[in-house]
Amino acid sequence: MKFGIVVCPKCKHPKGVQLVHKTTRCIRCGKMLTLAKLKILYQTDSEEQLRRALGLVNADMEGKRKDFEELLRSQHKTCR
Ligand SMILES: [Zn+2]
């Protein structure tokens, strides 16, 4: 998996990251995040999927969790 989504523990801002990197900086609050210490919410090899998932994580913040879970389910299907 090349890409992942993490959430900043300080300001709760979701962020897409390249998993080859060990750290990333939160674009909202500027905090340096260590990927090994964070929960990876979503992982994918496709940058397009990452952007789609990131959009849904953002939507989740507005109470649209179902859409995100749907995406995770469809992801499992394509993996099979
Ligand atoms: Zn932050």
**Confidence at residue 30, expressed as pLDDT on a 0 to 100 scale:** 97
Report whether pLDDT(80) > 60. no
Spacing, Cα 28 to ligand 1 middle (Å): 5
Residues 6+ apart with CB under 8 A from 31: 8, 9, 10, 11, 25
Spacing, Cα 67 to ligand 1 middle (Å): 24
Instruction: Judge contact between 29 and 72, C-beta under 8 A.
Output: no
pLDDT tens digits, 21-42: 999 999 999 999 999 999 999 9
Spacing, Cα 79 to ligand 1 middle (Å): 32
Report whether pLDDT(4) > 70. yes
Distances (CA, A) of 50 to 8, 32, 56, 62: 17, 21, 10, 19
Residue with more model confidence, 73 or 48: 48
Q: What does the radius of gyration of the chain's CA atoms come to, in whole angstroms?
A: 12
**Confidence at residue 50, expressed as pLDDT on a 0 to 100 scale:** 95
Spacing, Cα 23 to ligand 1 middle (Å): 13
pLDDT tens digits, 56-69: 888 766 666 677 77
Spacing, Cα 80 to ligand 1 middle (Å): 35
